[in-house]
Amino acid sequence: MLRISLLFVILSAALLACTGGGEKLSMETGKVVLLASGPLYEGSNTATVEWIPAPEAVSGKKITSARVSKIRLMGSGEYADLFSDITFSLAAPGADMRRVGVLNPVAVGDSIWELQVADEQKNIEDFFKGKPITLVADVNLKRDLEADLNLTAEVVFETENKK
């Protein structure tokens, strides 16, 4: 019985060693501007931008898993006391919209916001199927805003590619 157990452990270890984990990469959006066209009203408003990953980051690669590891939003000083909370999501054709970050409450006086990234992120790799990814910031405004809302975003993805 001990020999069978030992043989099973050795074979399992050998099988795991052969499968390999794949290549892990970090992919950044760079600075992209999300826009919500004004006038905007107190309450929930949506700012969006389409982003396409660099071809060399995805071309010919099978992304087996992905997650958002960092979300930073930046705005002008006039936004320092405008938001009560921010929710950040991803959308794309052929993939269900996914909420990946939140900041609640938004500190008064800030114009750079680091969002809390969701611990559980399912099927983020579905967004890397060759179509543009829509970055979505839902912001709750404390008051009306006559002008457009422009937020600069920097998003970092961690991906794993099949070798």
Domain ranges for the chain, please list them.
Answer: 23-161
- Whole-structure pTM value: 0.84
**Residue 107: φ, ψ to 5°:** -65, 135
pLDDT value of position 6: 44
Q: Which residues contact 5 (CB under 8 A, 6 or more apart)?
A: none
Domain 23-161 classification at class level: mainly beta
4 pLDDT band, cuts 50/70/90, is: low
Per residue in 30-50, is it b (16+ CB within 10 Å) or e — as a string? eeeebebeeebeeeebebebe
- Under the banding of pLDDT at 50, 70 and 90, the label for residue 19 is very low
Q: What's the chain's length in residues?
A: 163
Indicate if the pLDDT at residue 8 is higher than 50. Answer: no
- Cβ(73)–Cβ(151) under 8 Å? yes
